[in-house]
Structure 1
Amino acid sequence: MSSLTLAFQFASPGPILFELGPFAIRWYGLLIASAVLIGVSLSQDLAKRRNVNPDLLGDLAIWLVLSAIPAARLYYVLFEWEQYSKRPDQIIAIWNGGIAIHGAIIGGTLAALIFARLKKVSIWQLADLVVPSLILGQAIGRWGNFFNSEAFGRPTNMPWKLYIPPQQRPLEFINFEYFHPTFLYESLWNLMVFGILMTLFFRDLKKRSHLKVGTLALIYMVAYSAGRVWIEGFRTDSLMIGPLRIAQIVSLSAIALGLLGLAWLYLLRRPLPDVVPPEEQRWDYRSD
């Protein structure tokens, strides 16, 4: 057995970091909080480099957190309603896991649209400053699945196999011990996408390339979704509609929309439609 396998088998201490009387600090919550703090700091730094008031991103972050986390839980609960209808007390038990990133993105997008309208700024300009933080936060947050022993893949004997306790295994795989660490696959994929977005951002900042408004957001849609499509195929706990995996349907739709958006920007050379008319925008960069 390789040292890597041993690390996966024994490194997870369980979902709880430490307990103090009736209170428990869980790894999942700590990772989400860390991702938010790191993401806000990063977005504000990118805003400064674009000569945008960083307080605008700080205000947006509050809107995103207040909308994204409940939406992520609601999305998951709705697609697992048969389970939660029998245990309604668990609907709000987000600390036990059970949130969907696509739900968070939908909720955050709706909040950002309202925010952009109220502040009279471009939603696409905001998105370009937020998506590097978003994908980095997704890379960090995926490790919550590791500590909760959830979101793993099919049984495997690969050297990087992940040990799952019997009580966490699907019934059809109860006699298998090791599974694909899909949380790790997605975390590494997201870090790669983060690197691509940051490279493009700084190349544009140094005028080595010329990115149009919305480019980073569209690349995020395509790149993240491409990874999610193939990684989701390994998982044993996918949200389903009949025989179809919901995450794959959403991801394929996002890839199509992202590619259409990039074609609109660079082949047709037209700006993306926005919620705020151009004459009302208070700040702008590379808006051609």
Structure 2
Amino acid sequence: MENSIEPISKIAFELGPLSVHWYGIIIGTGVLLGLLLAMRESERRGLSKDTFLDLILFAVPAAIICARIYYVLFEWEYYSKNPGSIIKVWEGGIAIHGALIGSVLTAYIFTKIKKISFWKVADIAAPSIILGQAIGRWGNFINQEAHGGEVSRSYLEGLHLPDFIVNQMYINGAYYHPTFLYESLWNLAGFILLLFLRRVNLRRGELFLTYVIWYSIGRFFIEGLRTDSLMLTDYLRIAQVLSLSLIVIALAVIIYRRVSGQAVKHYKDA
């Protein structure tokens, strides 16, 4: 039976010579749903509905480029020998942390030019970002990447996973931890949490910083299960080091802004 398991095709459909990959469709779906959510909330918070439409025109390209650069830099031994593969983002190989760095920097510059509050925009965007991440991880599922160590089929069946997930985790003769699913579910839980915290009316900036903390906690533990981690040294995984750093930084920023009196306004304030 196992020898006959065929993986889900990476190609959704073809238009002449153009192959449209599931990876791109899934990532695009996450971006679109996140954008619609942010646009709806921005109007409630007194911003123009076009704010996020304008921002995403710059943030998405910056996120993709930075995500790819981040990944390529830490896998340079391979890409230096295969330079033609550097642009093949549809095959996977984009780092979420790189995307976040690129999009946050873009948003900061954008808000300074538009003379609107960066923290206000970041708070509105936070649920959209983590929702996009929850959806985007299914692109890794299609590409059979970002998985964990080897497990048995019975282990996966014991998680009560549908057959299409179990079968897709059969890679080169073995079954693997569906870490893409663990992170997707963690992010989905974070999305629900952030929607709830909107009602709590936290200080401005703290919804986004809560997202950073929540995502980083999950990523730290899930990264420890993965077999394809980008490594800083032989023993240190880059994502884990960065996740711990972001948790500390986010907590420090929350405390500093409160103590210094910078966090006066709340999420629902104009």
Match of 1:81 in 2: 76
The 1-side partners of 2:121 and 2:98 are apart by 19
Tell me the SS of whatever aligns to 2:195.
helix
Query: Is 1:193 equivalent to 2:190 in the alignment?
Result: yes
Match of 1:151 in 2: 146
Q: Deviations over 1:101-125 (max 9, x none)?
A: 0000011111111101100111111
The 1-side partners of 2:190 and 2:169 are apart by 27
Query: Is 1:258 equivalent to 2:261 in the alignment?
Result: no
Match of 1:68 in 2: 63
Match of 1:171 in 2: none
* Matching residue within 255, 259, 262 for 1:271: 262
Match of 2:19 in 1: 24
In the alignment, is the contact (CA less than 8 A) between 1:156 and 1:180 conserved in 2? Answer: yes
Q: After superposition, where does 1:173-184 map in structure 2 within 5 Å?
A: 177-184=174-181
The 1-side partners of 2:104 and 2:141 are apart by 27
Identical pairs, percent? 48
Relative to the length of structure 1, the TM-score reads: 0.83
Between stretches 132-141 and 155-164, larger displacement belongs to: 155-164
Q: Deviations over 1:86-140 (max 9, x none)?
A: 0100000001100000000011111111101100111111100111100000000
Query: Is 1:165 equivalent to 2:156 in the alignment?
Result: no
Tell me the SS of whatever aligns to 1:111.
helix
Match of 1:248 in 2: 240
Tell me the SS of whatever aligns to 2:50.
helix
1:265 deviation in Å? 4.3
Tell me the SS of whatever aligns to 2:20.
strand
Query: Is 1:33 equivalent to 2:28 in the alignment?
Result: yes
Match of 2:125 in 1: 130
Instruction: Give the aligned residue type for 1:165.
Output: I
Aligned residues: 256
Query: Is 1:221 equivalent to 2:212 in the alignment?
Result: yes
* Structure 2: unaligned runs, 5 residues or longer: 160-165
* Matching residue within 227, 247, 260 for 1:236: 227
The 2-side partners of 1:40 and 1:20 are apart by 27
Match of 2:91 in 1: 96
* Structure 1: unaligned runs, 5 residues or longer: 167-175, 204-208, 279-283
In the alignment, is the contact (CA less than 8 A) between 2:230 and 2:237 conserved in 1? Answer: yes
Q: CA RMSD in A?
A: 2.3
Structure 1 ranges of 4+ moved more than 6 A: none
Match of 2:163 in 1: none
Instruction: Give the aligned residue type for 2:226.
Output: R
In the alignment, is the contact (CA less than 8 A) between 2:203 and 2:263 conserved in 1? Answer: no
The 2-side partners of 1:11 and 1:50 are apart by 48
In structure 2, relative to structure 1, the CA distance for the partners of 1:272 and 1:244 (3 Å cut) is farther
